[in-house]
Structure 1
């Protein structure tokens, strides 16, 4: 289905993916870049500000993962490995053999799993506030996740879900799946990280939930990585909905840095 929003045309649809009815959107033309959202999010809540800028020069492919937004749930816990397999299946369905990837937050962790499990799909990857080790966030984070309730979920994310979900009753399911996945999170082994060969750009905010130490460590574990620590909170550098302030402008985003990284020729 073709839709136009704010003069930006895109195609959207659903694909049968590993037992899910997965929603996706495709914008623009050019080399594909795949956007993978974070926990509790939709395409728009993470990437509404970013997509129009990237789509000027690229084909942008974004999807909603298990139980998120317009995508159905399956009778199984969420996992980053399963999300990676779901994205890989969607890209096969769409005829995409290789792409660049930009994953934010949980989506960054999923992007790492795609590079580990489906390396043939990945050219370059941008890892926005991605978690690879449990020590990459403050200790309070894990206690918070164990006690997580829907009432504590950012209201902007709740509203974004309700705007698009066919059944808003799924909000609790999405919340619980995401919380359990974080409680159960296990470190990605160093040998798996070191086996990732493609170029990577690791980005966090200086007031991010991800610690600078973790971002530095991750960038050093990857064979070919650059690191950027940007002023701001978790996702402010891409205009994520919970971080936007009234004085936000497109120039607050790191799009020039992303495009420079993506366009850099291999040595």
Structure 2
């Protein structure tokens, strides 16, 4: 099913690929659209999950409004999609702005969130390296082309949407690690090794999460989902399918987090091919 649904009184483009699996909501990046993730990650995930995506206001096929962009508004929009389209909790996979939105949804409505994957996302505005967006750059030109193909507001409105997007990322978000630490769901933090989100910031996000995992993908940038979709899918699927905390041979951080001493019984240890000491 793909088409417009009323979300908080606004016609919103939603695509629901169906399937009998657990619902999984894809959250696109800023100045992007739902197709960006559906066409890269959607195919690999839809055979396992009920994959759903939507275009936020002013993005893709969904018309803009007069209001400026704010992450809290985007989170409320996403909560409405979860309540009215999904009909309950779902895994959230968010890229860039979509990852920020996922974090905010988990804080506001943890009952609607199962696991989360946040891709190249920052929780504070200072976590992003300021990169000048040249209107003549190939990236900006591609964003404008994709916008013109979809937006009911017409290609001329892209300049206004870009202005609001740049204003947003220069002033928001402003979460603290103390807030991030309230998120109890398992969260996979992924980032490119040459991302506009700094590596120390991505690591601080991972370290603030009680049940976080971290993946730095080599040879990638902020365009990680488009550059390495198969690699990203191969990280996402086992993370979502894992039952309980990761089982590792030598836990350190997770042993501290759980209050344990890090010791494991032989029956809990994964097969390594290494000889075991006799008891």
- C-alpha deviation, 1:95, in angstroms: 4.3
Match of 2:237 in 1: 259
Off by >6 Å, runs of 4+ in structure 1: none
Q: Is 1:122 matched with 2:113?
A: yes
2:52 to 61, 66, 69: 61
Match of 1:15 in 2: 5
Q: Output the CA distance in 2 between the equivalents of 1:234 and 1:110.
A: 20
Q: Is 1:158 matched with 2:144?
A: yes
Q: Output the CA distance in 1 between the equivalents of 2:241 and 2:59.
A: 31
Q: Output the CA distance in 1 between the equivalents of 2:164 and 2:215.
A: 30
8 A Cα contact 1:104 1:235, kept in partner: no
Q: Output the CA distance in 2 between the equivalents of 1:70 and 1:160.
A: 10
- C-alpha deviation, 1:235, in angstroms: 4.5
8 A Cα contact 2:147 2:155, kept in partner: yes
Structure 2 vs 1, CA of residues 52 and 186 (structure 1 numbering), >3 Å: closer, same or farther?
A: closer
Larger radius of gyration: 2
Match of 2:161 in 1: 174
Q: Output the CA distance in 1 between the equivalents of 2:140 and 2:94.
A: 20
1:111 to 86, 96, 102: 102
- C-alpha deviation, 1:46, in angstroms: 3.9
Secondary structure at 2:40 match in 1: coil
Give the TM-score normalised by the residue count of structure 1.
0.84
Q: Give RMSD over aligned pairs.
A: 1.9
Unmatched runs of 5 consecutive residues or more in structure 2 = 246-279
Q: Which has the higher contact order (CA 8 A, sep 6+)?
A: 1
Q: How does 1:1-267 map to 2 (within 5 A)?
A: 11-29=1-19, 30-138=21-129, 140-141=130-131, 144=132, 150-151=135-136, 154-166=140-152, 167-239=154-226, 244=227, 251=230, 253-267=231-245
Report the count of equivalent residues: 242
- C-alpha deviation, 1:264, in angstroms: 0.5
Tell me which protein shows more strand as a share of its residues: 1
- C-alpha deviation, 1:75, in angstroms: 2.1
Secondary structure at 2:155 match in 1: coil
Give the TM-score normalised by the residue count of structure 2.
0.81
Unmatched runs of 5 consecutive residues or more in structure 1 = 1-10
